[in-house]
Structure 1
Amino acid sequence: MWVRMFATGGGMVLLLAACASTPPSHYYSLAGQDAPALALAASRMEHKAGSGQAYGLQLQVRSIPADVDRIQIVVRDPARAPAVDVLNQSIWSAPLDQQIQRLLAAGVAARLGVVDMQRLPAATSMPVRTIDVRITQFDLIWGQGAYLGAVWTDQGMTGKPARVCQAAVQSKAPIGVANLVDAQKRSLAALVSLMADPADALAAGLPNDTQVNHIGCT
């Protein structure tokens, strides 16, 4: 009996040691409150409502790159390209495509001073501007930073011709998962500004360590 208890106890010790050696998971989000943009949105929305120019924005992210469409954060190592590191203990707090969808829709609507139809779907009586987005690049690269690429089709208002645009943005960051996520937040914020009004975004300037590699519309 004593030997059996010793063996069972040893097994428990090994099990506890294995559990203790498993690193904890860390969760990351792309969300961030942009107070200046929200304040600007409130004033613009009030002005447009008073002038009869209010409309709703329906922005939809149709796709993101397949290799990052997972709950784990994926980081690229330039020394082992094209290999990627899937970080099992670094987890997105919500599906990546949903986070990008919410951020772009809310951000572009805020800068335009219009209604985000995702948040106020009941406002169906107003005109709607539709923007379809494809995220073509979403790279976090060790020792470099975050790279973001997108193509979007702006259907405009009823009766107006559609416009196709594309942009590529990068933000520098030191090594570290949290630093890379923060850098991608800056890239997404820059993309929001470019989608709302490229001329205004470039004239106003971008955050430090963030640059536009390409922007164009046809």
Structure 2
Amino acid sequence: MSRYSRRPLAGFAALAPCAALIASVASVALVALGALSACSSPPSRFYTLAGGLASSEVRSAAPPLLMIDVAAVDVPAQVARSALVVQTSATRVDVLEQARWASLPADEIRLALSQQLAQQLDAIDVSRSPRPAGVSVYRVKLSVQRFESWPGSHALIDAVWSVRALSEEAVLTCRSVVSEPVGAGNDALVAGHRQALQQIAANVADGIRALDAAARAHRLVRGQTAPPCPAQ
């Protein structure tokens, strides 16, 4: 019995190098597959609508004549995501998972609008700060009805906005529809949306100026009507 019991052990010993070789080959294959997977996944790119204002403009140290309070922005549900959503036809959109906003579109739009208004009006946004006495504060509300990205064609923003002095009763409610032609690529789309937001901010700034002028001229008169919407 003893002479036969050693044969299986000898067989297993002979197979041991083969098992080690198979394990080594499998390990190399897994590493290679991991490397191929890493190479095949393109890195995500992040875009923002805020920032990029002229750095050469220096704000005055004097207190501003008015302040703004930019509220949270409403956007359509289909674009309320971090990935870019592009329009490919009247009935189809593509979600670009590798092209993403730096923050949610509603936050990007609110921040960009706040920055543009602060620059154009030489004002400051006090939405998260105490409001000082003796300075007019204007509440700005923006509701985006359409936020469309057509690659190689145009970027469109359709928004309803309102301005109201916190110390007055008059409210100015208007609509801005801006379409900017764009070239190919996501960079061009984002640049088009930035330009559209700049135009909308200019409309809102004109509305604030008109409302502020009316409020100063009739500060003691209650129930005054708001001025007409500014021309686009």
User: Where on the TM-score scale, by shorter chain, does this alignment land: which range?
Assistant: 0.7 to 0.9
Whether the 8 Å contact between 1:61 and 1:100 is mirrored in structure 2 is: no
Deviations 1:164-209, CA, capped at 9 Å, x for gaps: 10010011011100111111111111111111116x9xxxxxxxxx
Inter-partner Cα distance in structure 2 for 1:5 and 1:185: 54
Q: Counterpart in 2 of 1:9?
A: 28
SS in 1 for 2:157: strand
Equivalent of residue 101 in structure 2, options 89, 92, 95:
92
Q: Counterpart in 1 of 2:126?
A: 117
Deviation at 1:130, TM superposition (A): 0.9
Deviation at 1:127, TM superposition (A): 3.3
Structure showing greater Rg: 2
Inter-partner Cα distance in structure 2 for 1:95 and 1:17: 32
Deviation at 1:118, TM superposition (A): 3.8
Q: Aligned-residue CA RMSD in angstroms?
A: 2.5
Is 1:83 matched with 2:92? yes
Inter-partner Cα distance in structure 1 for 2:132 and 2:56: 24
Inter-partner Cα distance in structure 2 for 1:62 and 1:188: 13
Inter-partner Cα distance in structure 2 for 1:38 and 1:61: 27
Inter-partner Cα distance in structure 1 for 2:151 and 2:168: 46
Q: Counterpart in 2 of 1:190?
A: 199
- Residues 169-188 of structure 1 mapped to structure 2, 5 A cutoff: 169-188=178-197
Deviation at 1:131, TM superposition (A): 1.5
TM-score w.r.t. length of structure 1: 0.78
Is 1:133 matched with 2:142? yes
Q: How many correspondences in the alignment?
A: 191
Whether the 8 Å contact between 2:73 and 2:107 is mirrored in structure 1 is: no
Deviation at 1:157, TM superposition (A): 4.7
Whether the 8 Å contact between 1:131 and 1:156 is mirrored in structure 2 is: no
Is 1:26 matched with 2:45? yes
SS in 2 for 1:124: coil
User: Which letter does structure 2 place at the counterpart of 1:167?
Assistant: S
Q: Counterpart in 2 of 1:205?
A: none
Inter-partner Cα distance in structure 2 for 1:37 and 1:189: 18
> Percent identity over the alignment?
25
User: Which letter does structure 1 place at the counterpart of 2:95?
Assistant: V
- Residues 130-169 of structure 1 mapped to structure 2, 5 A cutoff: 130-169=139-178
User: Which letter does structure 2 place at the counterpart of 1:33?
Assistant: G
Q: Counterpart in 1 of 2:223?
A: none
Deviation at 1:159, TM superposition (A): 2.5
User: Which letter does structure 2 place at the counterpart of 1:92?
Assistant: W
User: Which letter does structure 2 place at the counterpart of 1:20?
Assistant: C
- Residues 100-111 of structure 1 mapped to structure 2, 5 A cutoff: 100-111=109-120
Is 1:35 matched with 2:54? yes
Whether the 8 Å contact between 1:60 and 1:105 is mirrored in structure 2 is: no
Q: Counterpart in 2 of 1:71?
A: 82
Which structure's relative contact order is higher, taking Cα pairs within 8 Å and 6+ residues apart? 1
